[in-house]
Amino acid sequence: MSQENLESVRQWVAAINAGDSDRLVALADPEVDYLPYLAALSGEAGAYHGHEGLRRYLRDLDEAWSAYAVEIHQLEDLGDEVLMQGRLWGKGRSSGLDVDSSMAWLHTFRPGSGQGRYLRLRFFANRDEALEAAGLSE
């Protein structure tokens, strides 16, 4: 089990919850691909790429949500990937709409890098979808 990758996922959650773009960038490979849930549904059209993409993602979050939080329920080491199950909560800035949903995130790390920097992050509605994307369907 890659403790470094698991710790990186925990730090990612802390960075997202704090809105800390510098910390988020420090955790990411320079070639990172970041696919939030709605981007994944649209075939990656709304994906964010590279460090500047991560900064833009946090700006977009701030524009869309007056409050936003992620919490970890479970982490699974899948080798060069970590499957995180948890909860996403948000309150729409203009709509006031509350979102409270269980989700899964698949963090992919550069194979053999040993640096704990994620290369790709994808959001899913549930664990089964994330496992299927990782090629590990049950």
In tens, the pLDDT along 49-73 reads 999 999 998 888 888 889 989 999 9
pLDDT of residue 115 exceeding 70, the answer is: no
Pair of tokens at residue 76 = 């699974």
Please tell me whether the overall predicted TM-score, pTM, comes out greater than 0.95 for this model.
no
Rounded CA separation 36/41 (Å)? 9
The share of the chain scoring above pLDDT 70, in percent, equals: 89
- What pLDDT sits at residue 43? 52
pLDDT of residue 1 exceeding 80, the answer is: no
Mean of per-residue pLDDT scores for the chain: 87
Rounded to 5°, angle at Cα 110 from 29 and 17: 50
pLDDT of residue 12 exceeding 60, the answer is: yes
pLDDT of residue 42 exceeding 90, the answer is: no
Question: What are the chain's domains?
Answer: 3-133 (3.10.450.50)
